Structure 1
Amino acid sequence: MVNVHHRYATVQGRRLFYREAGPSDAPTLVLLHGFPASSFMFRDLIPALADHYHVIAPDHLGFGLSDAPPVEEFEYTFDALTGLTKGLLDQLGVSRYAVYVQDYGAPIGWRLALNDPDAITAIITQNGNGYEAGFVPSFWAPIWDYHREQTPETEGAVRQALTLDAIKWQYVTGVPDETLVSPDTWHHDFALVSRPGNDRVQLALFLDYATNPPLYPHLHTYLRERRTPLLAVWGEGDEIFGPAGALAFADDLPGARIHLLEGGHFLLETALDEVTRLIKDFLGKS
C-alpha cells in the first residue's frame, strides 16, 4: 500500500489542493490535469508510480478542490495558472522534476518549461497538444469562433462543453468499451464545474486558449535545442486532440517515444496498466 496525502497550500493568497505520494527524496513527477477534470483523474496512477517517484498532482485554480474565486476577483489565464503552479512547486522545494501533461495541463507545462528550461528533466504528454496538427476541427470550431467574436451565439456554443452530456462524451468517446469507464468520473467533474460562477471561469479559459498556439513555435525550438526526453502516450480515439498531435513531436524531437493506445481523451480510465508500464520504462531510462 502507498499512502497518498491530500493537502492544501496557500499560494499567492489562493488555496490550492494537491495530492502527494512517494519518498520526498525520490525524483519528482508533477501531474497536470486538463479540462474539465482535476487531480482526481490521477487517483489510480499516483499510487502506481509512488513506489519509485515523488508524485505531486495539484488542482488548478478554479478546478477540483482548489479555490475558485469569481472572475471579478481573479483573471483566469494560462499564464496565471502557470504562475500558481510554479509558486506551489517553489513552496514545496521542488526545483527539478519530470512533468506529465494532459489537455489544459499541456499549455501550463509548456510555459513552465519555457520559463525555466533547466527545471524539466523529462516530459510525458498524454493527449496534451503542442502542435496545430493535433486539433480535431469538429471539436474546436466553436472555440475558434468564440475567439474571433464573443456573441450570445458563440458563447452558447462553447457553453455546451459544460453540460453533463458533453463531459460524458469526453470520457467515453474512443474507448474500447464504455462500461470500463466509471460514471463517477463525469458526474464528479460536472458537479465541480457547475458550482455558482464557475461557468464564467471556464469561459475565461476557453477565451484565453487563443494564447496557446502562438507558444508552439517556442516549444518546438525548446524541444530541438534542449532534447528533453519525451514520451507521448495517446488515446488514439481522442476526438479533441487526435493522434497527429502525438506523431508531430517526432518532427522536432526524433528520439521522442510515441505510443498510440486504444482509448480516448482520458486514457487512464481504460489503459492505466499499460500507461504505467510505459511511464516507468521511460523514466527509468531517462
Structure 2
Amino acid sequence: MIPAGLDFDGSFPYAPHFSNAPGFRMHYVDEGPRDGEVVLCLHGEPTWGYLFRHLIGTLRGRYRVVVPDHMGFGKSETPQDRSYWLQDHIDNLERLVLELDLRGITLVMHDFGGPAGMGLAARHPDRIRRVVSVNGPTPFGQSGLREILVANAQAAPWFQWILKAAGDGSLEQVLGQLGYNILSTLKLNGFENHAVISDAWLQAYGLPFATPAECLGAIGWARGFADGAHSFETPDAAAVQAIRARPALGIWGMADRTLQAEHFLPQFSGLFPAAEVHRLEGAGHYCFEDAPERVSELISGFLDRTS
C-alpha cells in the first residue's frame, strides 16, 4: 500500500480520502465541486488511480471526479483474508458509492474497471448517467461473453501467459514480484509511450506491489481468470433497457495486445449502437498513458455535449 501523502514528484497532487465501508481501508480521490456532476473512474490490472491523473486535472474544474483504488491496488489496503474476484470488487465499489451517495454518475472504465463498473450499473442503473469505455470490456447480460473471452485469450500474450503460469505453478511467484517486473508487465499488455517513463512514474506503478503480500490484488485478478472464478453481474431487463438508453462513448487504443478491439468493440457497440467510437492508432492498452491529452479531450467533449 502506498503511503497516503505520496505524490510522486508532484505528478499526483490529489488529496487522499479513505472509506472503511467495503470492510478494508479503501483509498479514493475526490476532486472538484461537491455539487458537480460525478465522474467515477475505475482502473484495472495492474494500475491504480494514478492512471487517471491527467483526466482528473482536466475535469476537476467543472466535475466532481471520484477515483477509487480497488482492493489490493494503489493506496488501498491489501487484506490477506479476502478473495479478489470480480464480484468482490463490485461489492466494494457498491459500498463506496452508497456511502458517498453518488448519483448521476458518468462511468469511465479501463480494463477490469469495465466489468466492475457494469456490475455497479446492473445493480444501480438509476445512479448511472453516462458510460465511457476506454479499453474496458462492457459485459451486460449479452450472449456470447464466453466466446469473446476465449477468442481474445487465444490471441493475447497476457492471457496466454496467465494460463501457462497457472498450469505450471509459477503465477503467484512471478506476480508476487510485480514491484520489480512492473514495466515488463505493462509492456506485455500494450504500453507504447516510453517517453513518459521516469523514476517517479516507475515508483508510482511499482510501489503498490513492494512485497508478495501486497500483490494479492494483481494475483487474484489473474488467478480468477485462470480458474474461472470471476462472476459477471447479470442485469435484469429493466436495467438493460435503462443502461442502453444512456449516452455512451467508446475509446480504444488499437495497439492493445490484451483486450483486442476486434473482440470487445463489437460488444460495446452491441450494447450502445448509437455511441461514438474512437479508435486511437499507435496507442496501446494503457491509452491514458499513451495518449493522455487526446483521451482527456474526447471525454471532456463528450461530457460537454451530453450535459
CA deviation profile, 1:73-112 (whole Å, cap 9, x unmatched): 2122221111111111222121331111111211211110
Which one of 105, 114, 123 corresponds to residue 113 of structure 2? Answer: 105
Q: How far is the alpha carbon of 1:31 from its aligned partner?
A: 0.5
Which deviates more, 31-40 or 248-257?
A: 248-257
Alignment match of 1:203 (pick from 202, 219, 237): 219
Give the secondary structure class of the aligned counterpart of 1:241: coil
Counterpart in 1 of 2:98? Answer: 90
Which residue matches 1:240? 258
Matches within 5 A, 1:136-285: 136-144=155-163, 150-153=166-169, 155=171, 159=175, 162=178, 163-170=181-188, 173=190, 175=192, 177-182=193-198, 184-209=200-225, 210-212=228-230, 222=240, 226-244=244-262, 245-261=264-280, 262-285=282-305
> Could you tell me whether the CA contact under 8 Å between 2:37 and 2:105 is conserved in 1?
yes
What's the offset of the Cα at 1:34? 1.1
Q: 1:214 to 1:14 in 2, by over 3 A?
A: closer
Structure 1 residue 174: deviation in Å? 5.4
Q: 1:126: how far off?
A: 0.9
Q: Where does residue 123 of structure 2 map in the other structure?
A: 115
Aligned-pair distance for 1:155? 3.0
- Is contact 1:174-1:239 (8 Å) kept? no
Residues 62 and 160 (structure 1), Cα distance of their counterparts in 2 relative to 1, 3 Å cut: closer
User: 2:130 corresponds to which letter in structure 1?
Assistant: A
Question: Root-mean-square deviation (CA), in Å?
Answer: 3.0
Matched position secondary structure for 1:14: coil
**Is the 8 Å Cα contact of residues 100 and 123 (structure 1) preserved in structure 2?**
yes
Distance 1:253 1:161, change over 3 A: farther
Which residue identity is paired with 2:260? G
In structure 2, C-alpha distance between the alignment counterparts of 1:170 and 1:51, rounded to whole Å: 35
Cα shift at 1:13: 3.1
Deviation at 1:182, TM superposition (A): 4.0
TM-score, normalized by length of structure 1? 0.84
1:237-266 Cα distance to aligned partner (Å, 9 max, x none): 111112222344223321111111131111
SS at match of 2:20: strand
Q: TM-score, normalised by structure 2?
A: 0.78
Q: Would the alpha carbon gap of residues 39 and 201 (structure 1) be closer, same or farther in structure 2, given more than 3 Å must change?
A: closer
Counterpart of 2:4 in structure 1 is none
Deviations along 1:123-154, one digit per CA (max 9) or x if unpaired, are 111111236265543321233456xxx54446
Distance 1:228 1:80, change over 3 A: same
Number of equivalenced pairs = 276
Aligned to 1:43: 53
Equivalent residues of 1:181, 1:269 under 8 A apart:
no
Instruction: Give secondary structure in 2 for the equivalent of 1:76.
Output: coil
In 2 relative to 1, CA 157–14 (structure 1 residues): closer, same or farther, beyond 3 Å?
closer
- Taking a change above 3 Å as real, the CA distance of residues 230 and 223 of structure 1, as seen in their structure-2 partners, is farther
